[in-house]
Amino acid sequence: MVPITLDGRVAIVTGAGGDLGRGIAQRLTQAGARVIVNDCLIDRARETCDLLAAVGGQGLADGGDVTDAAQVADMVTRAREAFGRLDILVNNAGGIRDALLENMSEADWDAVCDLNLKAAFLCARAALPLLRESPAGRIINIASMAYRGNVGQANYAAAKAGLVGLTSTLGLELARSGLTVNCIAPGLIATPKSARLPEPVRDRLVRLTPMRRMGAIDDIAHAVLFFASDLSGYVTRQVMHVSGGMEGL
């Protein structure tokens, strides 16, 4: 068996106080990486760091808002000061403000696009000088199967589709620097939040999933681990659907 090791590597995971981000930070830590645990809710970031410490890892909590260029710059500076390097950026922070078009406010549009798309641009741009110095720089963007369109999610679908375009373009721009840029599109993942979905909505999503079940947080974390590791050194500009075969909503 080929072990996945990230010994010596340093990662930033944005939104890592949340469900998927926390799982991703845990798996990266278990593979040997040190992790800057970003979440604008700093207490959640600290809780994640406590979980990392419990498995012998080293996390650094960062409470920056990833939609704010100055706070993103501070986060990268903290990474450099604490660890002297950066190898992996996981743009995971995201969120929704669902409404049908006629009810969607401009504020809903802007907030969702800023968080799910602009933040990834800001983080990639700020992290680039350090990532270029890495022997195996990685940018991993967390999209959603909603990038293919979903009723009530014009803002979210557009932002996640934009993230796919950003992935493809940065992959081209950075290929000769040895950096890979990939994207993961989760389907329905079992989290405390999805457990709160109305049952008919959850049932419909499960029916749309050929494997007829929700995914686990680890299904996403393991895909991140693959893209973060040397196993995927020749893989770039890809969108991996981690969705039980679901190809659209």
Binding of residue 39 to ligand NAD (CB under 6 A): yes
Q: Which of 44, 118, 138, 241 binds ligand NAD (CB under 6 A)?
A: 44
Helix (H) or strand (E) run with residue 45 in it: helix 42-54
Orientation of helix 217-228 relative to helix 19-30, angle to 10°: 50
Q: How far is the CB of 74 from ligand NAD (least distance, A)?
A: 12
Binding of residue 18 to ligand NAD (CB under 6 A): yes
How many angstroms separate the first and last alpha carbons of the chain? 36
Q: Which of 32, 58, 65, 111 binds ligand NAD (CB under 6 A)?
A: 65
Task: Output 6 or 61, the one with its CB closest to ligand NAD.
Answer: 61
- Looking at residue 31, its amino acid is A
Site for ligand NAD in 115-144 (CB under 6 A): 115, 142, 144
The sign of the CA dihedral 89, 90, 91, 93 is negative
Q: Applying CB under 6 A, which part among 9-17, 25-33, 47-55, 77-85 lies near ligand NAD? A: 9-17
Cβ atoms 95, 14 nearer than 8 A: no
Q: How far is the CB of 115 from ligand NAD (least distance, A)?
A: 5
Binding of residue 93 to ligand NAD (CB under 6 A): yes
Q: Which of 59, 94, 137, 244 binds ligand NAD (CB under 6 A)?
A: 94
Q: Applying CB under 6 A, which part among 49-57, 122-130, 171-179, 182-190 lies near ligand NAD? A: 182-190
The CB-side HSE value for 25 (13 A sphere, CA atoms) comes to 38
Enter the tokens of residue 233. Answer: 């050194």
Enter the tokens of residue 77. Answer: 């500076």
Q: Applying CB under 6 A, which part among 50-58, 63-71, 166-174, 201-209 lies near ligand NAD? A: 63-71
Q: Which of 6, 122, 166, 189 binds ligand NAD (CB under 6 A)?
A: 189
> 124-159 burial by CB neighbour count: b if 16+ within 10 A, else e?
bebbbebbeebebbbbbbbbbbbbbebeebbbbbbb
Cβ atoms 28, 228 nearer than 8 A: yes
Judge residue 201's burial from the number of C-beta atoms within 10 Å of its C-beta, 0-12 exposed, 13-18 middle, 19 or more buried: exposed
Binding of residue 26 to ligand NAD (CB under 6 A): no
Q: Which of 12, 13, 25, 40 binds ligand NAD (CB under 6 A)?
A: 40
Residues that bind ligand NAD (CB under 6 A): 14-15, 17-21, 38-41, 44, 65-67, 92-95, 115, 142, 144, 186, 188-189, 191, 193-194
